[in-house]
Amino acid sequence: MKIPHKAKKVFKGVIFDVYQWEQEMFDGSKATFEMLKRPNTVQVIATQEDKILLSHESQPTKKDFIGLFGGRQEPDENELDGVKREFLEETGMESDNWDLINIYEPIYKIEWNVYIFAARDCKKIQEPKLESGEEIEIMKVDFDEFIDLVIGEKFWGREFAEDVLRMKLEPKKLREFKKKIFQ
Interface residues toward its own copies, by CB under 8 A: 1, 10-11, 13-16, 18, 20, 23-27, 29, 31-34, 36, 60-62, 106-109, 132-135, 151, 158-159, 161-162, 165-166, 168-169
Q: Where are the alpha helices (DSSP H) in 23-157?
A: 79-91, 143-150
Q: Cα–Cα distance between 151 and 178 in angstroms, integer?
A: 16
Q: Quick one: which of 161, 176, 143 has its CA closest to 65?
A: 161
Nearer to its own copies, 23 or 48 (CB): 23
In the bound complex, what is the minimum distance in angstroms from residue 66's beta carbon to its own copies? 15
Burial class (CB in 10 A: 0-12, 13-18, 19+), 69: buried
In the bound complex, what is the minimum distance in angstroms from residue 133's beta carbon to its own copies? 5
In the bound complex, what is the minimum distance in angstroms from residue 162's beta carbon to its own copies? 5
Whether the Cβ atoms of residue 125 and residue 80 lie closer than 8 Å to each other: no
CA Rg value for the chain: 19
Nearer to its own copies, 33 or 182 (CB): 33
Nearer to its own copies, 80 or 174 (CB): 174
In the bound complex, what is the minimum distance in angstroms from residue 154's beta carbon to its own copies? 14
Q: Cα–Cα distance between 24 and 27 in angstroms, integer?
A: 8
Nearer to its own copies, 103 or 106 (CB): 106
Q: What number of other Cβ atoms are within 10 A of residue 100's Cβ?
A: 12
In the bound complex, what is the minimum distance in angstroms from residue 56's beta carbon to its own copies? 15
Nearer to its own copies, 58 or 183 (CB): 58
Largest CA distance in the chain: 61
